């Protein structure tokens, strides 16, 4: 399951940290947000290092659909209602500035990353709601209009159209801007205490520390695991499919997204909360729809992405917590990681350099809006449900009864264990408890992974960590059934 970005671009490998360092700024995570933040700070004259547990761009950046846009679904009418006109305008202007910033960086550095200006559309079947979203966006200063002619097969009465948006190849861009940065790969940060970061291979002492690692792995301070949940979505890359005239997403839950990259059509959808895919069939449903709409098409790649979601729909960008004034964070990008990565880089650069940023307030991680309270409570409730399930759900199967090619939860030697059985009968057994906070993991048959429904950590069938906030593996053993 490799994205077309990974298939068509490789980034040179960097060395692992060996020994101790002292720097001005340490950035944790070498995805788009981390690399852009380091790039912006280095351009501003700061000494920066980036610490990456795996490889540059190996997390969510390689699995994006790579849209750069200030159009984030049906967001602006909601923001005006829940956060007020000033905050909504900050959000709108920051994201539109991010689109322009990409264009400026690409031009100034002569980056060949297949950057193309495209219109962005939110299509749907409620004309009144779409038109109200247009009015809200225009009031906030965005170039929006209502159109009824859309070039997609999905049923729609019209769409909200944003002009002057863009799309690109994210890894080609990342490869270029990371080239002159100091990045240590295969260097996971294990602990952070005050101004010191510890890795298996050395420590880094930094005046400022930036967490751009998708979801913060420290539970305290900040308690970000209670203020976020994670969702997965799925993408097919199709050859011999028609062109669309921009980037399309659905206004309705469960809809489809479309954009072209060169000769390919990228078709996405099937969103769900991480850990809630026990029945599978996500790719099958995507493929069925592709056959219905594009019978002559041919699948050339498929992949999935994971996004952090905040209760109020606005990312957390700024100071990590009041008790750590020299720590910073960027997380909760919803499904708009490319644009919001640039917003994060601009805001965090200004904060670290002591420059006022007129867009920072709306993204402040310290906000505690009443509108967000139900969402925060829901996140806590989901975690409790995952813990209860671990202790009280009794599996009805034994390992010998699990069909080949399937996974499930069984008792082995009196202990509850997660097992995956290969076609040849080899069993991969893992500890079913997520090492983050102990929630019971669930088998994801589409991706053959163990996913945490509480906070979104994921592990492969051998228990190796795919994504956090967990930091440990869950592997046990391989046996023969």
How is 289-349 classified by DSSP, letter by letter? HHHHH-TT-EEEEEEEEEEEE-TTS--EEEEEETTEEEEEEEE--TT-HHHHHHHHHHHHH
Decide if 322 contacts 355 (C-beta within 8 A): no
Confidence of residue 387 (pLDDT cuts 50, 70, 90): very low
Return all residues near 381 (Cβ < 8 A) that are at least 6 apart: none
Q: In the chain, which segments carry CATH 2.102.10.10?
A: 390-480
Q: How confident is the model at residue 405 (pLDDT cuts 50, 70, 90)?
A: low
CA distances from 119 to 145, 161, 164, 259 (A): 11, 7, 6, 10
Tokens of 72: 């984030």
Which of 41-50, 314-323, 456-465 bottoms out in mean pLDDT, i.e. has the lowest?
456-465
pTM, entire model: 0.84
- Taking the C-alpha atoms of residue 447 and residue 212, their distance in angstroms, rounded to an integer, is 25
Fold observed for domain 4-64+172-226+313-371: FAD/NAD(P)-binding domain (3.50.50)
How is residue 251 written in tokens?
A: 């206004």
- Nearest-Å Rg of the Cα atoms of the chain is 22
CATH for 116-169+229-309, options being 3.40.50.300, 2.40.50.140, 2.60.120.10, 3.30.9.10: 3.30.9.10
User: What is d(CA 481, CA 478) in angstroms, rounded to the nearest whole number?
Assistant: 10
Give the Cα separation of 128 and 135 in Å (integer): 11
Pick the closest to residue 149 from 139, 141, 161, 167 (CA basis).
Answer: 161
pLDDT band at 214 (very low <50, low <70, confident <90, very high): confident
Local structure of 130: helix, strand or coil: helix
pLDDT band at 225 (very low <50, low <70, confident <90, very high): confident
Provide the pLDDT for residue 393. 42
**Alpha-carbon gap, residue 65 to 3, rounded angstroms:** 9
Percent of residues, the chain, with pLDDT higher than 90: 66
In the chain, residues under CATH classification 3.30.9.10 are 116-169+229-309
Q: State the span(s) of the chain assigned CATH 3.50.50.60.
A: 4-64+172-226+313-371
Residue 283 to residue 281: CA distance in whole angstroms: 6
Element (H, E) at 106: helix 85-108
CA distance 343 to 346: 5
CA dist., res. 201 & res. 186, Å (int):
10
CATH topology classification for 390-480: Rieske Iron-sulfur Protein (2.102.10)
Q: What is the pLDDT of residues 58-105, one digit of tens each?
A: 988 999 999 999 999 999 999 999 999 999 999 999 999 999 999 999
Cα–Cα distances (Å) from 86 to 39, 89, 135, 232, in that order, read: 29, 5, 16, 31
pLDDT digits (tens, 9 = 90+) for 343-353: 999 999 999 99
Cα dihedral 387, 392, 393, 396 in deg (nearest 10)? 150
- DSSP states of 216-274: ----TTT-GGGS-EEEEEEEEEEES----SSEEEESSTT--EEEEETTEEEEEEEEEET
pLDDT at residue number 478 = 47
Confidence of residue 440 (pLDDT cuts 50, 70, 90): confident
Question: Are 463 and 434 a contacting pair, CB within 8 Å?
Answer: no
Site of tokens 């399951």: 1
**What distances in angstroms separate CA 24 from CA 46, 177, 415, 418, one per listed residue?**
7, 20, 48, 44
Q: Determine which of 59-73, 208-222, 235-249 has the lowest per-residue pLDDT on average.
A: 208-222
Residue 443's pLDDT is 84
Helix count and strand count (H, E) for the chain: 9, 25
For 72, the 3-state DSSP assignment is coil
Is residue 386's pLDDT more than 70? Answer: no
Dihedral sign from CA coordinates of 271, 272, 273, 275 = negative
Res 374: pLDDT: 54
Query: Is residue 99 within a helix (H) or strand (E), and if so which, with residue range?
Result: helix 85-108
Three-state secondary-structure class, residue 137? helix
């Amino acid at each position: 399951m490799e994205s077309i970005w990974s298939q068509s671009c490789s980034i040179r490998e960097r060395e692992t940290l060996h020994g101790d360092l002292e720097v001005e700024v340490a950035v944790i995570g070498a995805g788009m947000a981390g690399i852009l933040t380091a790039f912006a700070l280095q351009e501003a004259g700061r000494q920066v290092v980036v610490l990456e547990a795996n490889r540059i761009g190996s997390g969510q950046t390689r699995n994006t659909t790579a849209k750069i846009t200030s159009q984030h679904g049906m967001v602006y009418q909601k923001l005006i209602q829940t956060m007020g006109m000033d905050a909504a305008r900050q959000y709108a202007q920051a994201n539109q500035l991010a689109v322009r910033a990409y264009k400026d960086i690409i031009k100034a550095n002569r980056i060949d990353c297949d950057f193309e200006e495209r219109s962005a559309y939110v299509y749907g079947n409620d004309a009144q709601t779409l038109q109200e979203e247009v009015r809200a966006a225009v009031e906030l200063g965005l170039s929006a209009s209502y159109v009824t002619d859309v070039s997609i097969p999905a049923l729609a009465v019209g769409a909200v159209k944003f002009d002057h948006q863009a799309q690109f190849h994210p890894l080609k861009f990342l490869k270029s801007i990371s080239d002159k940065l100091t990045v240590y790969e295969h260097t996971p940060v294990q602990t952070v205490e005050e101004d010191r970061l510890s890795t298996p291979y050395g420590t880094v002492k930094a005046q400022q520390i930036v967490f751009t690692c998708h979801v913060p792995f420290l539970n305290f301070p900040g308690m970000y695991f209670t203020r976020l949940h994670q969702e997965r979505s799925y993408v097919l890359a199709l050859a011999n499919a028609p062109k669309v005239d921009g980037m399309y997403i659905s206004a309705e839950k469960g809809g489809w997204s479309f954009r072209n990259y060169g000769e390919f059509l990228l078709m996405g959808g099937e969103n769900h909360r991480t850990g809630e895919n026990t029945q599978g069939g996500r790719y099958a449903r995507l493929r069925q729809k592709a056959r219905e709409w594009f019978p002559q098409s041919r699948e050339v790649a498929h992949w999935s992405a994971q996004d952090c979601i905040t209760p109020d729909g606005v990312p957390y960008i700024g100071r990590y917590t009041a008790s750590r004034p020299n720590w910073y964070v960027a997380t909760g990008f919803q499904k708009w990681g490319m644009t919001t990565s640039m917003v994060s880089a601009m805001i965090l650069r200004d904060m670290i350099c002591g420059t006022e940023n007129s867009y920072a307030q709306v993204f402040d991680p310290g906000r505690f809006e009443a509108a967000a309270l139900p969402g925060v409570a829901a996140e806590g409730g989901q975690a409790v449900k995952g813990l209860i399930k671990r202790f009280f759900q009794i599996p009805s199967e034994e390992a010998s009864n699990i069909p080949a090619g399937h996974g499930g939860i069984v008792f082995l030697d009196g202990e509850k264990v997660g097992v995956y059985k290969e076609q040849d009968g080899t069993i991969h057994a893992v500890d079913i408890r997520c090492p983050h906070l102990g929630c019971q993991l669930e088998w994801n048959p589409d991706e053959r992974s163990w996913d945490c429904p509480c906070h979104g950590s994921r592990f492969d069938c051998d228990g190796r960590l795919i994504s956090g906030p967990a930091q440990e593996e869950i592997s046990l053993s391989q046996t023969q059934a």
